[in-house]
């Protein structure tokens, strides 16, 4: 996979850079509209850190691990290895490049330039609904991580605090960047040790010895999610944090935090890949790396099945999950890591507003997605080594396999297992924190673009950054009410992949209107493939899993609580709205491309080259 991704970056990445005509002589939106709030030019390593941290959330960990235990590791590896450079990296790069040529505006604004306000509003509503799903899913995963690893909770709080101080160091005190990097990156890694010494939980529960518990009893307003009040408490804390972080200027928390977290991510991903090579060829795993359930010595031998069948009925999760046909559900289960529509929101929502030079887009857009594919590869390595099918299934798969398995792999480099596993838990938490509050910020952007210039009191409230972030957090929390992780994850994956197809549609429409001689295969092929797969996948999820299972009790146990039933109805409604919006946008976009190709007209969007 390393070889495949490297060749793709050098060859296909260079071709795409020439294809869209990246030119450093053009002034980027970050310089043109610099305001100290949203448009802030960033150094390439800082922006790469933000972008990579924002896109590499929990999805490229949870998705591949789940897929490997449902269908086997072979189909999971193939989808990541082939789909990432040909679909996902293209999607991210084109989303970033098109936003650069449209003043750093979102994909909704861009498609509106070519198909009108109706298409713009439809895509913005679609993106807004997805951001709510992202916030809900990632807040839940963070809650599970911090509940299972109280040491990661302490380390995460310290890491956010260090990021805030680093922002002041850089932008208010104007102190040296290189010195600050050494001091604060060192502080982030030291926080792992502090976390191990002083683990933290919010409400009483079953924790390691020495854990500090903030409340002696569970407050009445704290819900129990996945049968844990502590998970519910952390979810509430994360939703409040996400809302607060999303309204702060990007220099105050977003840029410095994501830059610092990138070192955690590089160390976790790069260290794990190096450890696999070193451990396989030289050292093997450390003797302190033992299986958490059996106590057996772990090795780098593959313990996960290569193929569990088309319906996954031969795998360890067969009795925990409903029927899971590989087509189309593999492509929804592994979203991030291969292709993710959420990345188009990051690329056109925050990254394009901070790009210092146009040519930086190749490394940050195309290269950043390849790096996320490597994270998916690390997750697959971890699950094949440990292969723990959690008794609860679903989200419970991510932690024991990524944190424990990844920690076991790191022992090949001589790192003690007692430090390596909490470190990998912090790596996972840092992915999730950055993605979640970036999603809240992006949701705020979407709603503000939908409202436009407020003309009524209701619109003024909707455009208010504090009000709309509260709306996002409340709706996200409501979606978690059923606790059915497998349905929420599939819904998130389907919506995410469908938005990826719509983002590719936006890029294709842009290219078609740029020049009638532009080839549209690079974006149009992935667009058609993902659109077809995800419409089928969402339909399966809505009819088979949610309607047939949770509401009618035919394919699974029916919901028994009012909150669970209401959540199921809302999820079905969201699926129907998403499919309806997507099909309408495909029709509008296709008509526009046909017209542009027939007449040779269209807006060139500030481009100067018609080279193919």
Which pLDDT does position 427 carry in this prediction? Answer: 85
Distances (CA, A) of 406 to 101, 300, 401, 473: 41, 11, 7, 31
- Could you tell me if residue 609 is inside a domain? no
Q: Which residue has the higher pLDDT, 564 or 547?
A: 547
Q: What is the pLDDT of residue 487?
A: 67
Q: Report pLDDT for 125.
A: 87
Q: What percent of the chain has pLDDT over 70?
A: 93
**Hey, is 583 helix, strand or coil?**
helix
Contact 530, 87 (CB under 8 A): yes
pLDDT at res. 45: 86
Reference 30, options 378, 515, 488, 364; nearest CA is 364
Rounded average pLDDT over 253-280: 85
> Residue 473 burial by CB count (10 A; 0-12/13-18/19+): exposed, middle or buried?
buried
What value does the mean pLDDT of the chain take? 86
Q: Could you list the residue range(s) of the whole structural domain that residue 173 is in?
A: 1-598
Region of poorest pLDDT, from 56-60, 225-229, 282-286: 56-60
Q: 551, 485, 463, 469: which is closest to 58 by C-alpha? A: 485
Give the pLDDT mean for 243-264. Answer: 84
pLDDT band at 392 (very low <50, low <70, confident <90, very high): very low
Split at pLDDT 50, 70, 90, the class of 610 is very low
pLDDT > 70? residue 51: yes
Q: If pLDDT is split at 50, 70 and 90, which confidence band does 245 have?
A: confident
Least-confidence region, from 13-17, 177-181, 257-261: 257-261
Distance CA 437, CA 57 (A): 11
The more confident residue out of 69 and 533 is 533
- As a whole number, mean pLDDT of residues 148-167 equals 91
CATH number at residue 511: 1.20.1730
**pLDDT, mean of residues 53-80:** 87
Q: Measured between alpha carbons, how far is 275 from 414 in angstroms, rounded to an integer? A: 9
Count of domains for the chain: 1
Q: Is the pLDDT of residue 296 over 90?
A: no
Q: Is 607 contained in some domain?
A: no
**CA-based torsion, 53, 54, 57, 59: positive or negative:** negative
At residue 491, the pLDDT reads: 80
- C-beta of residue 57 within 8 angstroms of C-beta of residue 265: no
Average pLDDT value for residue range 295-312? 85
In a domain, 612, yes or no: no
Among residues 79, 547, 72, 556, which one has the least CA distance to residue 313? 72
Tell me if 603 is assigned to some domain: no
Instruction: Label residue 376 by pLDDT band (50, 70, 90).
Output: very high
Partners of residue 213 on adjacent β-strands:
201
Residue 218, Cβ neighbours under 10 Å: how many?
A: 17
Residue 90 has pLDDT above 90, yes or no: yes
574 belongs to a structural domain: yes
81 within some domain = yes
Residue 119 lies in a domain: yes
Strands 200-201 and 212-213: parallel
- 307-320 mean pLDDT: 84
Distance, in Å, from the CA atom of 363 to the CA atom of 341, rounded to the nearest integer, reads 19
Q: How large is the average pLDDT for residues 89-96?
A: 97
Whether residue 607 has pLDDT greater than 50: no
Contact 476, 436 (CB under 8 A): no
Q: Is residue 605 part of a domain?
A: no
- Mean per-residue pLDDT, 381-392: 66
Report which of residues 5 and 50 the model is more confident about: 5
- pLDDT at 457 > cutoff 90: no
Q: Which residue has the higher pLDDT, 387 or 263?
A: 263
Which pLDDT value is given to residue 604? 42
């Amino acid at each position: 996979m390393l070889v495949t991704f490297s060749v793709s970056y050098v060859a296909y990445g260079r071709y795409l850079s020439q294809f869209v005509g990246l030119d450093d002589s053009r002034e980027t939106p970050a310089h043109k509209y610099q305001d100290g709030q949203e448009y802030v030019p960033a150094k390439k390593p800082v922006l790469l850190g933000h972008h990579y941290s924002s896109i590499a959330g929990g999805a490229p960990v949870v998705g591949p691990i789940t897929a490997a235990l449902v269908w086997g590791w072979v189909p999971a590896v193939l989808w990541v290895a082939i789909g990432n450079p040909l679909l996902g990296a293209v999607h991210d790069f084109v989303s970033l490049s098109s936003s650069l040529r449209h003043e750093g505006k979102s994909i909704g604004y861009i498609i509106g330039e070519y198909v009108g306000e109706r298409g713009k509003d439809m895509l913005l509503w679609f993106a807004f609904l997805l951001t709510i799903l992202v916030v809900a899913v990632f807040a839940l995963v963070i809650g599970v991580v911090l509940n299972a690893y109280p040491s990661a909770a302490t380390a995460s709080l310290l890491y956010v605090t260090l990021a805030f101080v680093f922002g002041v160091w850089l932008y208010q005190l104007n102190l040296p960047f290189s010195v600050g990097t050494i001091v604060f990156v060192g502080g982030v890694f030291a926080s792992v040790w502090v976390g191990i010494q002083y683990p933290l939980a919010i409400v009483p529960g079953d924790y390691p010895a020495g854990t500090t518990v903030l409340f002696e009893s569970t407050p009445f307003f704290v819900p129990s999610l996945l049968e844990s009040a502590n998970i519910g408490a952390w979810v509430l804390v994360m939703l409040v944090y996400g809302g607060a972080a999303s309204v702060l200027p990007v220099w105050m928390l977003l840029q410095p935090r994501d830059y610092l977290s990138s070192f955690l991510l590089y160390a976790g991903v790069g260290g794990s890949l190096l450890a696999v090579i070193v451990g396989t060829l030289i050292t093997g795993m450390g003797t302190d790396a033992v299986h958490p359930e059996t106590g057996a010595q772990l090795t780098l031998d593959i313990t996960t099945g290569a193929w569990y069948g088309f319906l996954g009925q031969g795998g360890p999760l067969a009795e925990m999950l409903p029927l899971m046909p590989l087509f189309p559900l593999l492509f929804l289960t592994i979203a991030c890591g291969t292709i993710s529509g959420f990345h188009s929101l990051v690329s056109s929502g925050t990254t394009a507003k901070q790009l210092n030079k146009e040519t930086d887009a190749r490394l940050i857009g195309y290269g950043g997605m390849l790096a996320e594919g490597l994270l998916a590869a690390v997750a697959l390595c971890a699950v094949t080594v440990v292969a723990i099918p959690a008794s609860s299934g679903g989200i419970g798969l991510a932690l024991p396999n990524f944190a424990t398995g990844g920690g076991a792999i790191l022992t090949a480099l001589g790192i003690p297992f007692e430090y390596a596993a909490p470190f990998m838990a912090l790596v996972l938490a840092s992915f999730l924190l950055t993605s979640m509050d970036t999603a809240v910020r992006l949701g705020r952007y979407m709603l503000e673009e939908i409202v436009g210039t407020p003309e009524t009191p209701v619109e003024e409230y909707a455009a208010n950054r504090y009000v709309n972030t509260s709306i996002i957090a409340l709706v996200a929390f409501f979606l978690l009410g059923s606790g059915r992780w497998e349905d929420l994850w599939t819904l998130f994956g389907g919506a995410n992949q469908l938005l990826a197809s719509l983002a590719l549609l936006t890029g294709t429409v842009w290219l078609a209107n740029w020049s009638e001689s532009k080839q549209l295969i690079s974006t149009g092929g992935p667009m058609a493939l993902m659109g077809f797969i995800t419409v089928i996948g969402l339909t399966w999820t809505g009819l088979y899993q949610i309607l047939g299972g949770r509401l009618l009790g035919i394919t699974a146990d029916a919901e028994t609580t009012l909150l669970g039933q209401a959540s199921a109805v809302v999820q079905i409604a969201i699926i129907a709205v998403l499919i309806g919006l997507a099909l309408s946008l495909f029709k509008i976009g296709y008509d526009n491309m046909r017209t542009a190709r027939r007449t040779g007209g269209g807006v060139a969007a500030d481009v100067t080259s018609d080279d193919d």
